[in-house]
Each structure stands twice: as C-alpha cells, then as structure tokens.
C-alpha cells in the first residue's frame, strides 16, 4: 500500500514537469511547440563524478618538451608503448553542454519561471544514430 502511494505521488510530481523538444538554430532555440525563435536561453551546468575502469592506451612519448607540451630542439619519440591506467574516480568534472551544442542539434528543454526562461538539459539523438 505504501509503495502504491509513493508511486502515485512520484507520478503526479513528474507529470507537472513540461519538458519538451527543441532545435538549436544559428541565433537561438526553436521549440517544437512554439513557432517563434528564443534568442536567450540557459544551458544546464553539471558537475559530475567520473568513474574510470582499468584501461590501457597505446601511444608514444616525446621528450624533452616545454610547458605547453611542444617538443624542444633535439627531442626524440619513443617506440609504441602501452600505458596502463588503474581504476579511479575523479570528482567535480564539469560537463560543458554549451560547448557541444551546434545549430541543428535537437535538445531537451524545460521552461521555468512561468515560461519566461528556458533551460536546455541535454542534447538528444536518435537511438540508432
């Protein structure tokens, strides 16, 4: 009985969130349900904890290099080398949605403040695309 009540409460609270789809244009955001372009919108800013499993990469090393990683005169490059990384967790990794959104991208949008502002939560893609 308790589970049924919580399920009903959760369903009602989610039903009140009017998320919708839109498309990024060259100069703004065009919602599927609104024919006018929205020039000013907000983009969600996420800090996440990234869990990386054990993994390996193959590459080379070059040395010596300067502080920018550019090879110095006389630098040499190693043969192909395998780099093994242990499982790790990195806290507070910023996911910059705005840098990855391009004109033509489909996005999930939530209107807030009575429809005066719009927040892009994420980019959406076809399941097979």
Q: How confident is the model over 12-25, as pLDDT tens digits?
A: 444 556 889 999 99
Q: DSSP letters along the chain, please?
A: -HHHHHHHHHHHHHHT---EEEEE-SSSEEETT-SS-BS--EE--EEEEEEE-SEEEEE--EEEE-TTSPEEEEEEEPPPEEEEE--EEEEEEEE-HHHH--TT-EEEEEEEGGGTEEEEEEEE--TT-
Instruction: Quote the domain boundaries for residue 9.
Output: 1-45+96-129
Q: Domain of 5: which CATH number? A: 2.40.50.140
Number of domains within the chain = 2
- State the pLDDT at residue 13: 43
Question: What local confidence, expressed as pLDDT, does residue 129 receive?
Answer: 61
Are 57 and 119 found together in one domain? no
Q: Model pTM?
A: 0.63
- Same domain for 55 and 20: no
Q: Are residues 36 and 2 in the same domain?
A: yes
Same-domain status, 38 and 101? yes
Quick one: 3 and 37 in the same domain? yes
Give the chain's residues under pLDDT 50: 1-3, 5-7, 9-14
Residue 84's pLDDT is what? 97
């Amino acid at each position: 009985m308790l589970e049924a009540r919580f399920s009903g409460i959760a369903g009602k609270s989610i039903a009140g969130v009017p998320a919708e789809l839109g498309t990024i244009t060259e100069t703004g955001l065009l919602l599927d349900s609104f024919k006018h372009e929205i020039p000013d919108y907000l983009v969600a800013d996420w800090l996440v904890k990234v869990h990386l499993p054990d993994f390996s990469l193959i590459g080379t090393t070059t040395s010596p290099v300067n502080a920018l990683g550019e090879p110095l005169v006389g630098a040499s490059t190693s043969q192909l080398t395998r780099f093994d990384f242990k499982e790790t967790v990195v806290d507070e990794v910023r996911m910059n949605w705005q840098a990855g959104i391009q004109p033509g991208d489909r996005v999930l949008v939530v209107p807030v403040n009575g429809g005066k502002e719009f927040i892009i939560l994420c980019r959406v893609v076809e399941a097979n695309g």
